[in-house]
Amino acid sequence: MKKPGRTHLMESQRNRTSAAILRAILREGPLGRKRLAAATGASSTTVTRIVADLVERGALLEVSGHRMPERTGRPEIPLDLPGGERLVVGAHLHPQRTAIGAYTLRGECVREAALPAAGTSTEERSAEAASLAREFLGELGGSTVLGIGIATPWAEQHRSFPAPRPWDVGHAQLETAVRAATGLPVRVDSNVRALAVEHYWWSALHGDVLTVLVGRSVGLAHMREEELVWSERGTGGMVSHLVVPGSSAPCECGQSGCIAATCTDDALLARAIAAGALPAGAAQQDLYPVPEEDGEALRALRIERAEQLGRVLPAIITLVDPERTILRGAIGATDEVELCLTIVRDRYRSLVGREVEVEHRQDSLPGGWARASAALALHSYLGAPLELEEGLRSPAAPEAAQAPIPGTR
């Protein structure tokens, strides 16, 4: 809401300064006003005025009983983010379940829950997510929820191929349903983009970082400092139909050798069933059994997939040119993952003439996808905190609690 006497340009500048202050404290820990001025480039007067506003709103807290020493002048009272008083919520729509969690602005878990998925259509999954979110918010007591982030598996139903899968949930309908049920800001995005912002804000992976998620599809997300580079239109980072060197696997798009037909878990699962390494009706998780239940035929197929990933990823990394690449997804056993990384490093060195910084990070513990989803809400809040603060409503607002959920009768 624009205050009387303030132009839109002035409000925009206040939002940018507020965002810079909150981001600096999130990155570096508690800071005094002088250090905030140095970190943000704003004047001491501007920082003092904005900080007073944020403290009044409850967005910042003065750390009582602690003063930060200064080289000259009086010690400063540090400012920090609130703890459990202010939360972000994340929900993740997996084909088999919907998980949800509430986290502090530093990513500390406050509460988590999950329910099996009862439906498969966009309408059904949206209604399930909205109902779960509304019930979950009612269990958070007096905490202020700044927003809800929702991550879904990489969806390509907006393309002519492949045909929509059961896990392809329409983002617009999902956002509308959850927003109507909760009265809160909602951001829906892909799994890989959720991981990218979680890496930055809660795993201290700063700088220019490319995240590559290998699962039922292969997707990219690129964080350049605090900016999530590609748009939310659904095509940035979509590499499904780039060709893997040496692959002749037929793809639904009409090409041969596409990443979608060669490197995804769906493609690996189809090959495993066709080869008799897994029975008909096997699921994605069956590709990664415990060691004592693993078979040589299945292991050979995973090794082949690791080699294929190793051949195609260097060209993608070369195109984006990040400082660091983080590979996520199961991939296979430790030696299979290391084989993939070795091929990436060797191929990149031969293409570019220098070393590449690439690593694999294990999938998060249970609840990790909800946490990554919550990072989407945090990222949105840090983009325009004062604008969002103006529209904040209590999670238990009567009009939200009583409103019908879209998709239900």
In eight-state DSSP terms, residue 330 is -
Measured distance CA(145)–CA(85) in Å, rounded? 9
Phi and psi (nearest 5°) for 351?
A: -80, -40
Closest C-alpha to 344, from 331, 356, 333: 356
How far lies 103's CA from each of 26, 87, 115, 363, 375, in Å?
Answer: 14, 5, 19, 19, 9
Q: What single-letter amino acid sits at 175?
A: E
DSSP sequence for 104-138: -TT--EEEEEEEE----SHHHHHHHHHHHHHHHHT
Q: Give the CATH architecture of domain 8-80.
A: Orthogonal Bundle (1.10)
So what's the pLDDT on residue 89? 98
So what's the pLDDT on residue 143? 92
How, if at all, do strands 218-224 and 79-80 pair?
Answer: unpaired
Measured distance CA(282)–CA(266) in Å, rounded? 11
Measured distance CA(220)–CA(191) in Å, rounded? 10
Angle at 215 between CA 314 and CA 275, to 5 degrees: 95
So what's the pLDDT on residue 389? 86
So what's the pLDDT on residue 95? 81
Do the beta carbons of residue 151 and residue 194 sit within 8 Å? yes
Q: 3-state class of 255 per DSSP? A: coil
Q: Low-confidence residues of the chain, pLDDT below 50?
A: 156-163, 166, 366, 393-402, 409
So what's the pLDDT on residue 404? 55
Do the beta carbons of residue 105 and residue 81 sit within 8 Å? yes
Phi and psi (nearest 5°) for 116?
A: -65, 145
- 292 contact partners, CB below 8 Å, separation of at least 6: none
Chosen CATH of 239-356 out of 3.30.420.40, 3.40.50.720, 3.40.190.180, 3.40.50.300: 3.30.420.40
Name the CATH superfamily housing domain 86-200+367-402.
ATPase, nucleotide binding domain (3.30.420.40)
Sign of CA dihedral 117, 119, 121, 123: negative
How far lies 142's CA from each of 87, 88, 108, 246, in Å?
Answer: 11, 13, 17, 58
Domain boundaries of the chain, sorted by first residue: 8-80, 86-200+367-402, 239-356
Measured distance CA(43)–CA(37) in Å, rounded? 6
* Helices H / strands E in the chain, number of each: 13, 12
| One fold for 8-80 and 86-200+367-402 | no
Do the beta carbons of residue 151 and residue 376 sit within 8 Å? yes
